[in-house]
Each structure stands twice: as C-alpha cells, then as structure tokens.
C-alpha cells in the first residue's frame, strides 16, 4: 500500500460543543480513522469517537501485584534464608513486620507502571507528529478544538472530506502534511 500524499484533513472549532457534534456527525458519515485534539479532557469525546476503554488499570494492577510480591519475597529471602538472625528464639518468618515494606513497594511499582503505562499507551515520547505541521495547531493547547480525519480512512477523499468538514461550522479547515 502506498503512503497517502497527506496525513489528513483538520478542522478547527471554537468550542467543545461544536467539536463533539462534529465528531458524532463524522462518525455517522462512516469515518473511523480520526482523532480530536483539545486543550483539556472532554468526556463526551470518548463516546463520540468510540474510543476503546483505557488499558491502564490492568497494567497498574499487574505492576502493583509484582511490587507486593517483590517486597514480601525480598524480605522473606533476606530474613529467613540469606541473613537469619535469631533474636530470643523469635520466628524468622515474622510476616506482620513485612507488611509496611510490602505495602510501600506495591504502591511504588503500581505508580511507576501507571506513569510508564501512560507514556506507552500514548506513544510518548514522540518528537515528531504530522499535526504539528498545521500552524494554527499550537492553539490546541490554548483555546481551540481540532478534529482530524486521517488519509488512511477508507472513505477519505481529499476534496469530499474537506467539504464535509467545512459544512460542520468549522472555523477553518486545513490539510495536514506528513
């Protein structure tokens, strides 16, 4: 498959309401490969774009379990096997004393997997992305709302898609170069 000549077509909107209704309409038209860019999280977009549920909770759960196991087993290994100290005949496997460090390492591993999981799921760090070629895109982190229909969408047609976006009460429609 050859690479399409442009990345996609991007429309700029004034407010979140217009963006969400545009996303819904584009979805209804049959466009699937699209993304919205906004200066703050908008709950309705997740549903309008039919985004999959975030996989982050599973990653964090696995991280937390690994952390807890690491904490407990490390203490067990050190106090029972590697460096046992007999203090007045008290049991070596003194599990109540392990709880604090087990807990702390559970939190530490879970938090680390939350952050690295977030970066991985977002594909960050990503120094280059075609959307940054649109000069007005800098406003996506200030006060403008963007919807981009990508060229890899089967329904994508440079002219038709541009006209469609223009019909959605967009402020400006521009092509996104690679």
Partner 1 sequence: MADEKQIADEGLRQTAVIAPGYTFGTVTDQIASVVLTRRTPVFWITCFAVGFALLLLFLWSLVLLLAKGVGIWGIKIPVGWGFAITNFVWWIGIGHAGTLISAILLLLNQTWRNSINRFAEAMTLFAVACAGMFPLLHMGRPWLFYWMFPYPNSMGVQPQFRSPLVWDVFAVSTYATVSLLFWFVGLLPDLATLRDRTDNRWARAIYGILAMGWRGSARHWSNHEMASLLLAGLATPLVLSVHTVVSFDFTIAIVPGWHSTFFPPYFVAGAIYSGFAMVLVLAIPLRHVYGLQGLITDKHLENSAKVMLATGLIVAYAYILETFTAWYSGNVYESAAIWHRMTGPYAVVYWCLLTCNIAAPQALWIKKVRSTPALLFVASLIVLTGMWLERYVIIVSSLAQDFLVSSWRTFQPTRWDWATYVGTIGLFTFLFFIFIRLLPMISIFEVRTLLPQAKVEEEAP
Do you find a cis peptide bond into 125, omega within 30 degrees of 0? yes
Site of interaction with partner 1 (CB under 8 A) = 15-17, 20-21, 35-46, 49, 51, 54, 56-57, 60, 64, 74-75, 78-79, 82-83, 85, 94, 97-98, 100-101, 103-105, 107-108, 110-112, 114-115, 117-119, 121-122, 124-129, 131-132, 137-143
What is d(CA 134, CA 146) in angstroms, rounded to the nearest whole number? 11
Residue 19: Cβ within 10 Å count: 26
- Which CB, 30 or 127, lies closer to partner 1? 127
- Which CB, 115 or 160, lies closer to partner 1? 115
- Which CB, 112 or 160, lies closer to partner 1? 112
What is d(CA 8, CA 176) in angstroms, rounded to the nearest whole number? 5
Q: By the 8 A CB rule, do 117 and 56 touch? A: yes
In angstroms, what is the minimal distance from the CB of 159 to partner 1? 25
- Which CB, 15 or 160, lies closer to partner 1? 15
Pull the structure tokens for residue 136: 């007005």
In angstroms, what is the minimal distance from the CB of 73 to partner 1? 12
Provide the terminal-to-terminal Cα distance of the chain, rounded to the nearest Å: 16
Closest CA to 134 of 1, 7, 4: 7
- Which CB, 97 or 160, lies closer to partner 1? 97
In angstroms, what is the minimal distance from the CB of 155 to partner 1? 19
In angstroms, what is the minimal distance from the CB of 172 to partner 1? 16
What is d(CA 161, CA 11) in angstroms, rounded to the nearest whole number? 10
In angstroms, what is the minimal distance from the CB of 104 to partner 1? 4
Contacts of 112 (CB under 8 A, 6+ apart): 63
């Amino acid at each position: 498959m050859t690479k399409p000549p442009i990345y996609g077509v991007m429309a700029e909107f004034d407010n979140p309401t217009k963006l969400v209704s545009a996303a819904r309409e584009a979805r209804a038209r049959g466009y699937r490969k699209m993304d919205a860019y906004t200066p703050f999280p908008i709950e309705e977009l997740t549903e309008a774009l039919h985004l999959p549920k975030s996989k982050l909770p599973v990653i964090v759960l696995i991280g937390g379990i690994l952390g807890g196991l690491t904490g407990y087993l490390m203490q067990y290994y050190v106090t029972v096997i590697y460096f046992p100290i007999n203090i007045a005949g008290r049991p070596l496997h003194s599990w109540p004393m392990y709880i604090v460090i087990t807990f702390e390492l559970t939190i530490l591993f879970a938090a680390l997997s939350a952050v690295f999981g977030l970066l991985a799921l977002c594909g960050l760090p990503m120094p280059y992305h075609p959307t940054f070629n649109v000069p007005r895109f800098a406003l996506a982190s200030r006060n403008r709302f963007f919807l981009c229909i990508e060229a890899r969408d089967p329904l994508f047609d440079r002219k038709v898609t541009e006209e469609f976006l223009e019909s959605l009460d967009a402020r400006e429609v521009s092509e996104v170069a690679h």
